[in-house]
Amino acid sequence: MRAIPEDLNLDSLVGQTLNQICVGAYDLQFRFEELLICCEGSVSVGEIEGKSEIFTNKGWKDSSPLMRLAGQKIVGWKKESSHLLSIHLGNGSKIYFESEDSPWENFVINLGESVW
């Protein structure tokens, strides 16, 4: 995976709702109205009832905290660092997508017509 592009702009996604969270054997998918983020690497969810949870494909743990995010709207996003992206939700939670320098994709953002 490479670093997050400098020109990535997700402003048009603010206001979209997190409709579905899919937990698969090898990936975790966050489905918004016009956005799909597929993750095979580390995903952190911060501030779910005051706690942080980390999910990786090296053995998904209890996914019930993720279900508290369903139905929430995107209120913002931020490129935290060269390899860390956060999506901010209406209930105060944040989803962090972290990439690492490796030949594998840690997460993929599908914006309908374009994929990063």
Concatenate the DSSP letters of all residues of 19-70 into one string: EEEEE-SS-EEEEESS-EEEESS-EEEEEETTEEEEE-SSS----HHHHTTT
Q: Domain for residue 115, yes or no?
A: no
Give the pTM: 0.80
Question: What pLDDT does residue 116 have?
Answer: 44
82 vs 52, residue with greater confidence: 82
**4 within domain boundaries:** no
pLDDT digits (tens, 9 = 90+) for 33-53: 888 888 777 777 776 556 666
Question: Who wins on pLDDT, 82 or 109?
Answer: 82
User: Between the CA of residue 71 and those of 4, 37, 68, 89, 106, what are the distances in Å?
Assistant: 26, 16, 8, 10, 25
Domain count for the chain: 1
Burial 19-46 (b: 16+ CB within 10 A, else e): eebeeeeebbbbbbeebbbbbbbbbbbb
Q: Is residue 68 part of a domain?
A: yes
* Cα-to-chain-centroid distance, residue 38: 8
Q: Domain of residue 29: give its range.
A: 11-110
Between 24 and 70, the higher pLDDT residue: 70
Is position 1 within any domain?
no
Asked whether residue 90 is assigned to any structural domain, the reply reads yes
Query: What does the pLDDT average to over 90-94?
Result: 88
pLDDT on residue 108: 78
pLDDT band at 16 (very low <50, low <70, confident <90, very high): very high
- Average pLDDT score, the chain: 79
